[in-house]
Amino acid sequence: MLKREIEDGDQSLADPQFRADVLAGLARRPRAIPARWFYDRRGSELFEEITELPEYYPTRTERAILERACPEVATIAGTGRAVVEFGSGSSVKTPILLRTVAPSAYVPIDISGDFLRESSKTLSRQFPDLLVLPFEADFMKPLTLPRTIADAPKLGFFPGSTIGNMIPRQAVDLLRSMRESLGEGAMLLIGMDRIKDESTLMSAYDDAAGVTAAFNLNLLDRINRELEGTIPVDAFRHRAIWNDDRARIEMHLEATRDVAFTVAGNDFTVPAGETIHTENSHKYGTRDARILLRSGGWTPVAMWTDPGDRFALYLAEA
Ligand code: AVJ
């Protein structure tokens, strides 16, 4: 019994929202499960591995941009703001920003409380004088920030092109709710991945070592572990598709043969060749990015890219 209790992903620990999203996602057509469920412990490890792949340019490109941009961000935004990071994860990018903008407080927001407390501790050690106020919440919903920072002007930080996971309507909703949460005089520093040649994009999401494939397929393992699933994982393969019409990379899990399985006592079938849509990663051209920001109530004030214009960092004001 003890072993069962301590196993990562024990059914008793399953998130009811995960269960609901998986059951609804497998029942509808096209089948689709929200990308946020990739990130169990194994999924987070695999994502870290992705960021180090030679083909996966976004992370290292954004980091290099941040190194150059942050001193300028400090000049434009001024020091002493409260930095509010949306979906902080295990960010290695945050210290670059914190070193230069000298914030009055740092508020990392994440739905995973464990992850949040771990990374907050690491950051507190690195910045002993900084007031760190971890905030466990779903940042997709409007939130009331800690009262301690009520009077400080805010600098929102949303790196990693996470906004790309959202379809435009959701992206606009999120930008608006961020504006609402951050309040009067706020600024936002946000990363967006650029539209570029298809082969570069495809390699970034279908790498030679198969790490992205493992990351995608881990979702099925997670369903099996946490929701008493019987999905034959070997009957699915990773598929990355560039949807040019919607300017996004899509990740799917494609059945290589007819499959039948159960999840939490519910029966499902997937015919050979059909897919489960697991992620969208929207890319934005220069005008697209500015229109998106303005649609969400933000006025772009500065933009930085790498020499190849592969990735962009925007500073916007409310
Ligand atoms: C974390 C959403 C920015 O879309 O590039 C990486 C996730 N998926 N490889 C991205 C991801 C496949 C990543 N984001």
Q: Compute the average pLDDT of residues 173-189.
A: 96
Residue with token string 């570069």: 200
Task: List residues near ligand 1 (CB under 6 A).
Answer: 50, 58, 160-162, 164-165, 205, 212, 279, 281
pLDDT recorded at residue 2: 41
Token reading at 266:
């519910």
pLDDT recorded at residue 141: 86
φ, ψ at 123 (rounded to 5°)? -70, -40
Most ligand 1 atoms within 8 A of CB, residue of 279, 311, 313 to mutate? 279
Task: Specify the residue with its C-alpha closest to ligand 1, atom 4.
Answer: 281
> What's the rounded Cα separation, in Å, for the pair 43 and 29?
25
Instruction: Kindly report the number of other CB atoms within 10 A of residue 208's CB atom.
Output: 9
Model pLDDT for residues 81-132, shown as the tens digit of each residue: 999 999 876 667 999 999 999 999 999 998 778 778 888 999 999 999 999 9
CA 219 to centroid of ligand 1, rounded, Å: 14
Instruction: Kindly report the number of other CB atoms within 10 A of residue 152's CB atom.
Output: 19
On the question of pLDDT at 299 being above 80, the answer is yes
- Find, among 161, 214, 202, 266, the residue nearest to 46 by Cα: 214
Cβ contacts of 250 within 8 Å, gap of 6 or more: 240, 241, 242, 243, 277, 279, 280, 281
CA 281 to centroid of ligand 1, rounded, Å: 7
CA 293 to centroid of ligand 1, rounded, Å: 20
Q: Is the pTM of this model over 0.90?
A: yes
Model pLDDT for residues 131-148, shown as the tens digit of each residue: 999 999 888 888 999 999
Model pLDDT for residues 184-234, shown as the tens digit of each residue: 999 999 999 999 999 999 999 999 999 999 999 999 999 999 999 999 999
φ, ψ at 215 (rounded to 5°)? -60, -45
pLDDT recorded at residue 12: 55
- The chain-wide mean pLDDT, for the chain, equals 93
On the question of pLDDT at 1 being above 50, the answer is no
Are 187 and 156 a contacting pair, CB within 8 Å?
A: yes
Ligand 1 atom with the smallest distance to the CA of 165 is 2
CA 166 to centroid of ligand 1, rounded, Å: 11
Task: Specify the residue with its C-alpha closest to ligand 1, atom 8.
Answer: 205
Q: Compute the average pLDDT of residues 136-162.
A: 93
CA 52 to centroid of ligand 1, rounded, Å: 12
> What's the rounded Cα separation, in Å, for the pair 176 and 30?
29
